[in-house]
Amino acid sequence: MHKTYNVLIIDDHPFVIDGFERALHFIANQSGTMSFRTHSSTCCKTAYDKLQNYTTSQDLDLVILDISLPMDKSLKISCGKDLGILIRKWLPNTKILVCTMHVNSYKLRQILNAFDPLGFINKADVNFQGFVAAINDVLNNKLHYSQTIINAIKQKSSNQINLDDYDILILKELANGAKMNDLLKLIHLSKSGIDKRKRLLKVKFGMDTNSDRDLVLAARAKGFI
């Protein structure tokens, strides 16, 4: 029985999109029983719009998702992880294959906890055949993690810094250029509460400066944003 799969590839590198499209074409030719209707997006905004369109039909079978994407400040979407959360919320039956360059244990665990992708591969691990294998496994409802991802998530996080959702939200908004007036509108805390959290964050990151910019840089270096 022939089946056509709807696939959305979200990656800001056209050559990666092309690689996945060639892999899908190869799979279709090899199987003889499946074909693919493919769309792509290179940024958070266009990906968001395409995902919204799919919510009306609920017929998106697979999303191939990069994590590092140009953010969209108007939608408060800063990366592929935010899109993954939306996909899981809007299209719970859609399979997700993450393809990323990230190797930070904390960040990878964040992704797993946020929307639990069925496939999770590191771009440095896989070639064309790796793309084919990952897609086939995910379409067949099998877990597929590449070796770098497996090794990273097995490791204990090298930084023993524990942050909650408010801490992460403050860091994200500071990274987006938010000032105190912006934070008060976005975060349900008082000014003194936000100031206290910022001070504690700087202590946790071992900083001896009051610079918000340095705080953002330290958080990025540790893989928190």
Condensed to tens digits (0 to 9), the pLDDT of residues 195-210 reads 999 988 988 888 888 8
pLDDT tens-digit profile of 39-89?
Answer: 999 999 999 999 999 988 889 999 999 998 888 778 878 889 999 999 999
Task: State the angle between helix axes of 147-154 and 105-115 in degrees (0 to 180), rounded to the nearest 10.
Answer: 100
CA pair distance 165, 66, nearest whole angstrom: 22
Average pLDDT over residues 21-26: 97
pLDDT for position 225:
76
Residue 159 has pLDDT above 60, yes or no: no
pLDDT at 158 over 70: no
Non-local (6+) Cβ contacts of 159 within 8 A are 106, 222, 223
Domains and CATH numbers, the chain: 3-154 (3.40.50.2300), 165-221 (1.10.10)
